[in-house]
């Protein structure tokens, strides 16, 4: 049995897999340690099954619009169980593909939980493995509040285990996971209550996005209960009842989903054995090269507490292996101008600074362009003026370099990638203006707004 390697990667999620496979392509001997199905959060209980559910809920809206285009369409029912079975089978196929890819690259897969023995040694089920380089890529897990009865609720992981669609559901949280689940369930017919601690949703996003999405969610029937801090969750007659700090008791729910954030999966790694620094939340600080404070030990992905996105972890993992095993000594990931999408209804796309962030950094040396319009897909619908698209460009300096780009509306998820490339390369407002518009599309607003 092989026990010594050039590289050990702890964690078989997107970042860990990318790092291990890139290193193996350069000829390194690699071991990957994973206790759960390969693919990590994204493939198993995150972006992949989430996008499947988003497609299902998006189809609901499309079927509703079909009547406005002359189609005689009636949806009699939806088979949640069948959808779950097909989705789960798809995920299992992906798990198998990942394992096959590891085998093709001669990457040694070790099943179990990893713990540090020393700076070069990892223990898994009492067996010791050594490597010149060790990468921590263990990802994260959903946070459950420390309140009475919290165990009656489920997390985002539990959402994907639901055998039946809940009729009445409460989602606690205001971030992108809460927003996405609320939109999906409401579109598919659940009565959704979103319980948030403040007045706003998506508070770290540009205010244009959060304010417009909130209006649209209300239009779609999502009830948003503001200024609600949960203090306990109880069961009454088989239903769940949420008690909040204002002393009020909620209506009874079939299900409650905690979507209040995620924490790094670092507690069981025995980091103290090698004196790896971590903050009070368990995140591992790294420099721009993904180095921890211990030589030849690195961290990538959600465990470092930066942009917790699958493509970010993949990019960081590949660049790290480029540097370690392909003599690209300055290779590293630039964490600025990273685009992201929220699969709400309609979706949101964003890259760069919010208007608030830009004002704080550049004061009056910015200019903001906005556009609000009725997307053509609703031209024949009663929803024409209720589901508007909004766009914003934030520029800085005399040459008006674009430092922020934000959009909510049909197609936002697909249109952002191309604009993100241009903005990453330093595009200016004039260069956007000089680009011929593609008509009729929503995306053309980005190159025609004045």
Which CATH number, 3.90.650.10, 3.50.50.60, 3.40.50.300, 3.90.226.10, labels domain 150-260? 3.50.50.60
Q: What is the pLDDT of residue 5?
A: 98
| Res 74: pLDDT | 87
What per-residue confidence (pLDDT) applies to 193? 98
- pLDDT at residue number 435: 98
- Whether 27 and 143 have beta carbons less than 8 Å apart is answered as no
Identified catalytic residue from 78, 219, 332, 439: 439
* Annotation: CATH topology of 4-142+264-325: FAD/NAD(P)-binding domain (3.50.50)
* Regions of the chain short of the pLDDT cut 50: none
- Residue count (the chain): 450
Residue 439 annotated among the catalytic residues of the structure: yes
Same fold, 4-142+264-325 and 150-260: yes
Decide the pairing of beta strands 30-34 and 140-142: unpaired
Write out the DSSP string of 118-177. Answer: ETTEEEETTEEEEEEEEEE---EEE---SSBTGGGSB-HHHHTT-SS--SEEEEE--SHH
Query: Where do the structural domains in the chain lie, given as residue ranges?
Result: 4-142+264-325, 150-260, 346-447
- Residue 385's pLDDT is what? 77
Residue 78 makes CB contacts below 8 A (sequence gap 6+) with: 165, 188, 189
> CA–CA separation, 450 vs 439, rounded Å?
17
* pLDDT given at position 75: 86
Tell me the CA distances in angstroms from 220 to 75, 105, 115, 187, 191, one per residue in order.
18, 48, 47, 8, 10
Please say whether the beta carbons of 244 and 149 come within 8 A.
no
Pick from 105, 41, 49: which is nearest to 312 by CA? 41
Domain 346-447 has CATH 3.90.1640.10: no
Q: What is the dihedral of CA 88, 172, 177, 289, to 10 degrees?
A: -120
What pTM was computed for the model? 0.96
Q: Residue 76 has what pLDDT?
A: 87
Structure tokens at 160: 């994907």
- Which among 28, 209, 231, 61 has a CA at the least distance from the CA of 132? 28
Using CB atoms within 10 Å of the CB of residue 76, give its burial: 0 to 12 exposed, 13 to 18 middle, 19+ buried: exposed
């Amino acid at each position: 049995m092989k026990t010594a390697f050039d590289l050990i990667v702890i964690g078989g999620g997107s970042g860990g897999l990318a790092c291990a496979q890139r290193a193996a392509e350069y000829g390194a001997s690699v071991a990957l340690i994973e206790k759960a199905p390969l693919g990590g959060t994204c493939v198993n209980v995150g972006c992949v099954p989430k996008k499947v559910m988003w497609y299902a809920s998006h189809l609901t809206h499309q079927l509703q619009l079909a009547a406005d285009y002359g189609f005689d369409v009636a949806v009699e029912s939806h088979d949640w169980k069948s959808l779950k079975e097909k989705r789960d089978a798809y995920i299992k196929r992906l798990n198998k593909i990942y394992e096959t890819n590891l085998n093709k690259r001669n990457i040694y897969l070790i099943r179990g939980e990893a713990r540090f023995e020393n700076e070069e040694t990892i223990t898994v089920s009492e067996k010791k493995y050594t490597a010149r380089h060790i990468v921590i890529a263990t990802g994260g897990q959903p946070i459950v509040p420390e309140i009475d009865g919290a165990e009656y609720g489920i997390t985002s992981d539990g959402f994907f285990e639901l055998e039946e669609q809940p009729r009445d559901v409460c989602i606690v949280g205001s971030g992108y996971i809460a927003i996405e689940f609320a939109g999906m369930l409401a579109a598919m017919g659940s009565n959704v209550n979103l319980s948030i601690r403040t007045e706003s949703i998506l508070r770290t996003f540009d205010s244009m996005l959060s304010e417009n999405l909130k209006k649209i969610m209300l239009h779609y029937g999502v009830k948003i209960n503001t200024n609600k801090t949960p203090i306990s969750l109880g069961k009454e007659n088989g239903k769940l009842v949420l008690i909040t700090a204002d002393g009020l008791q909620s209506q009874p729910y079939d299900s409650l989903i905690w979507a209040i954030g995620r924490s790094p999966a670092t507690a069981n790694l025995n980091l103290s054995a090698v004196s790896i620094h971590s903050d009070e939340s368990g995140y591992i600080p790294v420099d721009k090269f993904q180095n921890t404070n211990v030589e030849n030990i690195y961290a990538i992905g959600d465990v470092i507490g930066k942009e917790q996105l699958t493509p970010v972890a993949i990019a960081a993992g590949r660049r790290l292996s480029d540097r370690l095993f392909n003599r690209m000594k300055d290779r590293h990931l630039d964490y600025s101008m990273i685009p992201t999408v929220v699969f709400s209804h309609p979706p949101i796309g964003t890259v760069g600074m919010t208007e608030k962030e830009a004002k704080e950094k550049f004061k009056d040396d910015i200019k903001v362009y906005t556009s609000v319009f009725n997307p053509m897909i609703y031209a024949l619908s009663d929803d024409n003026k209720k589901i508007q698209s909004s766009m914003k460009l934030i520029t800085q300096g005399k040459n008006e370099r674009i430092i922020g780009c934000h959009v909510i509306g049909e197609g936002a998820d697909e249109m952002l990638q191309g604009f993100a490339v241009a903005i990453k390369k330093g595009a200016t407002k004039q260069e956007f203006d000089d680009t011929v518009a593609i008509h009729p599309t929503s995306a053309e607003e980005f190159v025609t707004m004045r």
